[in-house]
Amino acid sequence: MSILSAPHFHDEAAAFERVEKVIWPQGPVCHHCGCMGRISAIPANPEKRVRYGLKRCGDCKRQFTVRMGTIFEESKLPLHIWLQAMHLMCSSKKGVSAHQLHRTLEITYKSAWFLAHRIREAMRSGDLSPFGHDGGMVEVDETYIGHEPGAPVGAGGNHKMKVVSLVDRDSGKARSVVVDDISSKVLGEIVAANLSREAILMTDEARHYIKIGQQQAGHGHTNHGAGEYVSRFNPLVHTNTVEGFFSIFKRGMRGVYQHASKKHLHRYLAEFDFRYSNRIALGVDDAARATRALQGVVGKRLAYRRPDLGAEASA
Residues that bind Zn ion in the complex, under the rule CB under 5 A: 30, 32-33, 35, 57, 59-60
Q: Which is nearer to Zn ion, 57 or 164 (CB)?
A: 57
**Shortest distance, position 313 Cβ to Zn ion, whole Å:** 16
Q: Which is nearer to Zn ion, 61 or 147 (CB)?
A: 61
Q: Which CA distances in Å does 126 have to 221, 239, 298?
A: 30, 25, 11
Q: Which is nearer to Zn ion, 80 or 305 (CB)?
A: 305
| Cα–Cα dist 190/202, whole Å | 14
Q: Which is nearer to Zn ion, 40 or 183 (CB)?
A: 40
Residue 103: CB partners within 8 Å, gap ≥ 6?
none
What's phi and psi for 280, nearest 5 deg?
Answer: -60, -35
Q: Which uninterrupted H or E stretch holds 41?
A: strand 39-41
Q: Which is nearer to Zn ion, 162 or 306 (CB)?
A: 306
**Shortest distance, position 305 Cβ to Zn ion, whole Å:** 9
**Shortest distance, position 51 Cβ to Zn ion, whole Å:** 17
Q: Which CA distances in Å does 170 have to 137, 139, 174, 181, 282?
A: 7, 11, 11, 28, 11
Q: Which of 47, 90, 49, 107 is nearest to 274 (CA)?
A: 90
Q: Which CA distances in Å does 92 have to 19, 96, 191, 206, 271?
A: 21, 7, 30, 33, 11
DSSP codes of every residue in 255-290 = HT-TT--HHHHHHHHHHHHHHHHT-GGGT--HHHHH
C-alpha distance across the termini of the chain, in Å = 41
- For 111-262, where are the E strands, in sequence order? 137-145, 161-168, 174-179, 200-203, 218-221
Q: Hey, what's the torsion of the CAs at 128, 133, 139, 144, to 10 degrees? A: 10
